[in-house]
Amino acid sequence: MTRKTRILAFALALVFLGASLPSLAEGGALGKNWWKNPRMQERLGLSAEQSARIDEIALASQEEQIDLHAALSKARLRLEKVLYAETLDDAELGRLTDEVINLQCQAIKLRMVTRVEIAKVLDAGQRRQLEQIHEHLRQKRQERRELRQDRRRRR
C-alpha cells in the first residue's frame, strides 16, 4: 500500500467516525421540538409567533438534513465499494473521500446556519436563558457519565 493510499485510508476512517453537532432544530440536549414544549415556552417567554417561526426554520432544516444524509450515505457506500475493491484506485479514493468530507461539511454548516436562524428569532435574554438550560443539561449529562464510569470501575 502506497503512502498516499494509507493517508487516504486514514482520512476515510476519520470521515466514517466523524461526529455531527447537534442543532437547535434537532433539539440536542433539550429534546426534539423543544420550542413546542409548554414548559420551555414559559421558561423562555416564547411567544406563539416565535414558536411558529422556529418551527418553520426547523422543518426547512430537517428537510435539507434528510437530503444531505441520503447523499452522504450513498457517497459512503460508493467510497466503501472502491476501498474494498481488488485494486485500489487512489484517484477515485481521493475524489470520493473529498465528496464525503464536502457533504459532511455541508451538513455541519446547515446545522450551524439553523442555530443562527433560530437564535435570531430569540431576544438576548431568551438566548442567555437557553444557554443556561443547555449548560445545566450538559453538566447533568457529564455527571451521569462519570457515575457510569465509577460503577464500571468498581466491578
Per-residue pLDDT of the chain (155 residues; tens, 9 = 90+): 566 555 555 555 544 444 333 445 555 556 789 999 999 999 999 999 999 999 999 999 999 999 999 999 999 999 999 999 999 999 999 999 999 999 999 999 999 999 999 999 999 999 999 999 999 999 999 999 999 999 998 88
* Joined grid coordinates for residue 73: 450515505
The per-residue pLDDT for 21 is 38
Question: Residue 1, Cα to own-chain centre: how many angstroms?
Answer: 33
The per-residue pLDDT for 32 is 80
- Cα angle for residues 28, 34, 36 (degrees, 5° grid): 160
